[in-house]
Amino acid sequence: MKKTKHNTTLYPTRMTAIFCVLMMTILLFAGCGGSDGGEEQGQTQNTSRAAEEASQENTATTSFTDDCGRQVEVPEQITSVVASGSLAQIILYAAAPDTLMAINGAWTEDAAAYTDEKYLNLPQIGSFFGNHDLNYEEIAKLSPQIVIDVGEDKPDMESNLQDITDKTGIPAVHISADYNTMDQAFEKLGELLNRQEETRALADFSKETMDLAEETMKKVKKKKTVMYCTQEDGLNVLAKDSYHSQIIDWLSDNVAEVDDPSSQGSGNEVNLEQMMIWDPDVIIFAPGSYYDYVADDPAWQTLSAIKKGSYYEVPSGPYNWMGSPPSSNRILGILWMAKLLYPEQADYDLEEKTMEYYRLFYHCELTEDGYEALVRNSILK
């Protein structure tokens, strides 16, 4: 009886112990499960918070004062842009090529030698100025964060920019730029795009070029007379006091004086009789003009510059160094023309400067052979 009673007494005690162990195990697993769920919930919350912060960064705006004096709300972080025209495109390509979503016109045939392929295949949207064929529908479809105009201050610029915004729903800003204020334009663009480091290098090169040219011209006692010819037959000139002739007017005595200077890059049409009257010391031909044929053309041989061989072709690749369009490429044109006309006074290495320009503005490492090919019909003639 005692034995039976003893066994009966021990049984509930053993069962209680087992029950306690089981309960502890269940609670332990439940606690682990609760911990995992808490971590997952925390991770989810952190992910959501990061996404929200990123979204806020992408949509956050700031006020930018453009060179029309307009206060324009623009994204704080700009990563996608289109240019209003080719002039602005060249400058944007120099400062922030990765932001460009389109080009304004077809690249030249030789552009592939200097330009990354991914930029050659961008969609074309036309230009607000120049060809006046800006494709508003395509811009709206691309949906860039901003449209940027860089260049000449035009009287109706404010209404032009508003027109772009009205038709695309995208903010548009203007930054003033001329051949002698290119450094300021790059600084302003750096402020807008938050690319101050990149644009500082471009601004410095532009300012240094102006300083070099000014020092050169101080040494020149008498400017050479020059005529700049365009078009396939060479019978158009960049007339004195036109926007496109600014560098020519500064560095030389531009003989092409007409009553109504054209605002177009093609210049004013004239005839050989008028050219004979002007009879300049030097004739400069735009790329693709009549340079290759004048030596065998008896009519052109009546001009002193052709007889003496004092005629040259502007280097080009991917853009004309002297303009067309008149953008930051004219900075290189200044260096080239000053060295061409006044080699003794222009105290700098043009090849070295050209290679630096291509590295900074075109993101291209120009070789010595590449340089020689560019200046074959001018400096190395």
> Is residue 278 domain-shared with residue 359, that is, in the same domain?
yes
Give domain status of residue 51, yes or no. Answer: no
Q: Do residues 253 and 269 both lie within one domain?
A: yes
Same domain, 311 and 220: yes
Residue 53 vs residue 122, higher pLDDT: 122
Average pLDDT, the chain: 88
| 306 inside domain | yes
Distance CA 10, CA 27 (A): 26
Please count the other Cβ atoms lying within 10 Å of the Cβ belonging to residue 88: 28
What number is the average pLDDT over the span 343-355? Answer: 98
pTM: predicted TM-score of the whole model, two decimal places = 0.84
Residues 186, 233 within the same domain: no
CATH number at residue 294: 3.40.50.1980
Amino acid residing at 34: G
Looking at the fold, whether 278 and 366 belong to one and the same domain comes out as yes
Q: Is the domain of 99 the same as that of 227?
A: no
Which of 176, 202, 228 finishes a domain?
A: 202
Q: Is 262 inside any structural domain?
A: yes
Q: Is residue 311 part of a domain?
A: yes
| In a domain? residue 70 | yes
- Rounded to an integer, what distance in angstroms lies between the CA atom of residue 88 and that of residue 205? 18
User: What was the pLDDT predicted at 109?
Assistant: 84
Q: Where does 152-289 show beta strands of DSSP type E?
A: 172-176, 225-230, 236-237, 253-254, 268-269, 282-285
Is 94 in the same domain as 223? no
Is position 11 within any domain? no
Express each pLDDT in 110-164 by its tens digit.
Answer: 899 999 999 999 999 999 987 789 999 999 999 999 999 999 998 999 999 999 9
Host domain of residue 307: 207-374
**pLDDT, position 196:** 96
pLDDT digits (tens, 9 = 90+) for 199-258: 999 999 999 999 999 999 999 999 999 999 999 999 999 999 999 999 999 999 999 999
Cβ atoms of residues 96 and 195 within 8 Å: yes
More confident residue, 16 or 186: 186
Residue 370 shares a structural domain with residue 245: yes
Q: How many domains does the chain have?
A: 2
Point out which residues pair with 237 in neighbouring strands. Answer: 229, 268
pLDDT of residue 58: 58
Judge contact between 97 and 363, C-beta under 8 A.
Answer: yes
215 and 354 share a domain? yes
Q: Percent of the chain, pLDDT > 90? A: 81
Q: Which of 151, 194, 204, 187 is nearest to 360 (CA)?
A: 204
